[in-house]
Structure 1
Amino acid sequence: MASPPSRTRTPVMFIHGLWLHSSSWQGWADKFRDAGYEPMTPEWPNVPDSVAEARRHPDRQAGVGLAEISRQHATAIRDLGGVKPVLVGHSVGGFIAQHLLGQGLAAGAVAICPGQIKGVKAVGPAQAKATFAFLGNPANTKRAVSLDAGQFRYAFANAVSREESDELFEKWTIPSPARPLFQLALSNFARHSPAKVDTHNNNRGPLLLLSGKLDHTVPDVLTRSTFKRYRESSALTEYQRFDDRGHSLIVDSGWPEVADASLTWLADQGLT
């Protein structure tokens, strides 16, 4: 876990999603540090410090769910001694960013291709294909599961070349608990779902929802539907879309464009 940030800089916490490691944010952390922020990259519960170690010990995080992931990041925020960070989350990390923001724990958030919150009902064939291999087996709720190269290509890296997809797969992918995937997918059937976010909080910080039009794992329709869930809140919520990007947009060769868009939006909100 990164050291607590300097109190002279705005802390920014990066939160990854399924099948990626916190170290995948390194380029973002460097760019945000150059822009005046102090980056933090806390890990999910029980995830080892490196990609190699996470691959060697997949069962350490088996069964971890949304509540545990959110709670661990909330603890890291509280360790800042009252300073509210900016949050940048991707996929499940984008859900976690919204969950923490809704609790008033952050100054603002950028949720990139965020996992669907309770109340979002849109779904498409691409998303079903990207997740069926794991959701089709209920026993996976207690397991850590891995993508193979073909699954990663379809779910993450369909908008880049095959060569780049294979490089990203070898560099960044790790096993991840399947439980969050089930919790997000089944949230509308659970009365007390951990996927519920306070979308009515009028006092929270601003939120930007970023989407990739070519995303198979979190299709753009889901992000737009999430955006609509916030319409009853007077707090600022905005939506932006990258028409040529898929789910890998935070780690593939086009990530600087997404990071720059996030930095520009945060600066526009005075969150620097």
Structure 2
Amino acid sequence: MSEIRTPVVFIHGLWLHATSWQPWSDLFAAQGYDPIAPGWPGEPPTVAAARSNPDAVAGVGIDDVVAHYAKIVDELPVPPVLIGHSFGGLIVQRLLADHQGAAGVAIDPAQIKGVKPLPFAQLRSAFPVLGNPANRKRAVSLTEKQFRYGFGNALPAAESDVLHERWTIPSPGRPLFEAALANFAKHSPAAVDTAATGRGPLLLISGQQDHTVPDVVTRAAYKLYGDATSVTELKQFPDRGHSLTVDAGWRGVADHVLGWLNSQGLTGQSS
């Protein structure tokens, strides 16, 4: 049987465009993987186009995003490695629990149903959206100041501002409302079957200075997997914030992910 390159699907979260994964894609391709970084449903192909047409993603919810990426995964030749950041990390967990990936990496993942800690920093980071109920049906942008608090708090201000200008786009408010109300909804789209049997290995990653998804939130999600029979691991990066996939230290996170995948028997080649 001929060998094919193992696919990797990168899934971004709110406020970062899909092209923000380009350095990761280049690194994984050099390691023999076959990476793709599709945008969310309706997301324009460039940062500029996304900023000029915010209504393209207005009203998109978690279930819409899961279905979008599930279709992409179904069309791949073999089950991919799934790597997601923020809400992308929640999407990874949903897909992996449905056996739609060979392995999953959820970096600073948005809170899933059952996570109870609600730190002040997280509330403040989400306030630009949750502060106005009408934002449930809108796309919302972050100002430099809001991005600095939610993403770039562990960075020099100048670096945070550069990242804001380079990668940020308007994002739908609906997923934040769905996650915020998850513990009060019987059938929440933020629910993940943490006890799913036979799924691929999962790595949760936390930046311990993260304001948007504080470390305590990721640790609480990890504890929900306590009865899981499949591999579930947690890696914490001290002094890193929510920008850890796009800031100057991204390579250290990516190298850890590559090493972890190798420890799980996953490489760039799949027979």
Q: TM-score, normalised by structure 1?
A: 0.96
* Matching residue's letter, 2:253: V
Determine the structure 1 residue equivalent to 2:232. 237
Counterpart in 1 of 2:101?
Answer: 106
Partner of 2:250: 255
CA distance in 1: counterparts of 2:27 and 2:76, whole angstroms: 22
Percent of paired sites with the same residue? 58
The yes-or-no answer on 1:138 pairing with 2:138 is no
Counterpart in the other structure of 1:3: none
Aligned AA (1:89) = G
Q: Quick check: 1:202 aligned with 2:197?
A: yes
**What's the CA shift for 1:7?**
6.5
2:62 matches 1:66: yes
Out of 254, 263, 268, the position equivalent to 1:268 is: 263
- Counterpart of 1:33? 29
Shift of 1:188: 0.3
| 1:8 matched residue in structure 2 | 4
Q: How many residues align?
A: 266
Stretches of 4+ moved more than 3 A in 1? none
Which residue of the partner structure matches residue 13 of structure 2? Answer: 17
Could you tell me which amino acid in structure 2 is paired with residue 257 of structure 1? Answer: G
Structure-1 residue corresponding to 2:218: 223
CA distance in 2: counterparts of 1:167 and 1:132, whole angstroms: 23
How well do the aligned residues superpose, as a CA RMSD in angstroms?
A: 1.0
Q: Equivalents in 1 of 2:199, 2:117: separation in Å?
A: 25
1:51 correspondence with 2:47: yes
Contact kept, 8 Å, 2:194 with 2:224, in 1: the verdict is yes
Aligned pairs (5 A) from 1:54-203: 54-81=50-77, 83-203=78-198
Q: Which runs of 5+ in 1 are unaligned?
A: 1-5
* Distance in 2 separating the partners of 1:89 and 1:99: 11
Amino acid in the other structure paired with 2:188: S
Shift, 1:133, TM fit? 2.3
Q: Residues 163-213 of structure 1: CA distance to partner in whole angstroms, max 9, x if unpaired?
A: 000100000000000000111111001111000111011200000000000
TM-score normalised according to structure 2 size: 0.97
Is the alpha carbon distance of 1:217 and 1:7 closer, same or farther for their aligned partners in structure 2, counting shifts above 3 Å? farther
**1:253-272, CA deviations, whole angstroms, 9 ceiling, x for partnerless residues?**
00000000000000000111
> Unaligned 5+ residue runs, structure 2?
none
Q: Take 1:116 and 1:19, find their aligned partners in 2: how far apart are those partners?
A: 16
Q: Deviations over 1:47-85 (max 9, x none)?
A: 00000000000011100000000100000001114x100
Instruction: Indicate whether 1:42 and 2:42 are aligned.
Output: no
Alpha-carbon distance, 1:149 to partner: 0.3
